[in-house]
Amino acid sequence: MAIQFCSACGDALPESLSPTVNCDTCSLTNQNNLLKSVTKSSSTDFPSPLRHKLTTSVNDQQSSSLSATDTWGRADVACSNCHAPDVRYTAMQLRGADEGTTIFYFCPACSARWSDNN
């Protein structure tokens, strides 16, 4: 919360919800101006290089994984959602080395995604 000062002696006034605030030092009654001021802010009001770097990195990863399907292979599998024949796939090793890979499928026609543990 913001600090309010006495208009006579300059001492910091105590916090109060009443329209007037009494100074503890000189006993002067001051108007409580803090009740009238409302401040609204969001994270965009305070720029952060770290937040910008994270947002840029996440957006780049999403756009590269969603739109750059030319790096995905073509599979002879019909889409489980719209039955389109042009389905793309990529494989990743997510489990132990002695287990199979996980295959991720993507349908460019309807944007459906699913995976299969191989």
Ordered by start, the domain boundaries in the chain are: 1-40, 65-118
Q: What is the pLDDT of residue 60?
A: 60
Q: What is the pLDDT of residue 61?
A: 56
Q: What is the pLDDT of residue 6?
A: 92
49 is in an annotated binding site: no
107 is in an annotated binding site: yes
Check: CATH 2.20.25.10 for 65-118?
Answer: yes
Tokens of 27: 């006993």
Helix (H, G, I), strand (E, B) or coil at 23: coil
Classify residue 72 by burial, with Cβ atoms within 10 Å: 0-12, 13-18, 19+: middle
What whole-number distance in Å separates Cα of residue 6 and Cα of residue 22? 9
46 is in an annotated binding site: no
82 is in an annotated binding site: yes
Residue with the larger pLDDT of the pair 1 and 47: 47
Stretch (H or E) spanning 63: helix 49-67
What whole-number distance in Å separates Cα of residue 87 and Cα of residue 92? 17
